[in-house]
Amino acid sequence: MDIVDQATRSRMMSGIRGKDTKPELAVRRGLHALGFRYRLHQRRLPGNPDVVLPRYGAVVFVHGCFWHGHDCRLFKQPGTRQEFWRTKIGRNRENDQKHLAALLEAGWRVGTVWECAIRTDPAVAVQRLSEWLRSNDELCEIKS
């Protein structure tokens, strides 16, 4: 049973942002400090990537560990409405895979930075991301 009423829960959930999150801002600040220039949230690309670096032919997703069901210490399956959350997070994972495949097919390189990596050490995560951007590798996943 939820500890707050439905109206309060709805208000709380509506306050959760999809873009300009703290982990995303940390990645963007770090990349900018290293001299990378980018575009944000390109709707024309599959999955609406958080950071698009056309010069490098790369896109970066900054995933929240909870919302994308990452297997780390930050993800804990909610105790209430378990079937809803299992379906929701499963659908998010499916969409992530679908968008990844579409971007790769379109010729983009795809990087994923997990929230746990940013929380652990943002400077290391951004450094690893910058090394990937300068490489020719097609995929990059940065996690703690």
Structural domains in the chain (count): 1
Helix or strand or coil: residue 142? Answer: strand
Query: What is d(CA 113, CA 27) in angstroms, rounded to the nearest whole number?
Result: 8
Domain CATH code at residue 120: 3.40.960.10
> How many CB atoms within 10 Å of residue 22?
14
CB 124 within 8 A of CB 113: no
Residue 65 maps to a domain: yes
Query: What is d(CA 129, CA 144) in angstroms, rounded to the nearest whole number?
Result: 13
| Structural domain that includes position 107 | 17-142
Amino acid identity, position 2:
D
pLDDT tens, residue by residue, 31-49: 999 999 999 999 999 999 9
Residue 10 maps to a domain: no
Amino acid identity, position 10:
S
Residue 63 maps to a domain: yes
In this predicted structure, what is the pLDDT of residue 5? 83
Residue-level pLDDT, tens digit, the chain, 144 residues: 567 787 887 777 676 766 779 999 999 999 999 999 999 999 999 999 999 999 999 999 999 999 999 999 888 888 888 999 999 999 999 999 999 999 999 999 999 999 999 999 999 999 999 999 999 999 999 998
CB 107 within 8 A of CB 78: no
CB 61 within 8 A of CB 93: no
**Alpha carbon separation from 8 to 5, 16, 17, 51, 125 (Å, rounded):** 5, 13, 17, 32, 35
Residue 138 maps to a domain: yes
Residue 8 maps to a domain: no
Residue 87 maps to a domain: yes
Residue 35 maps to a domain: yes
Residue 3 maps to a domain: no
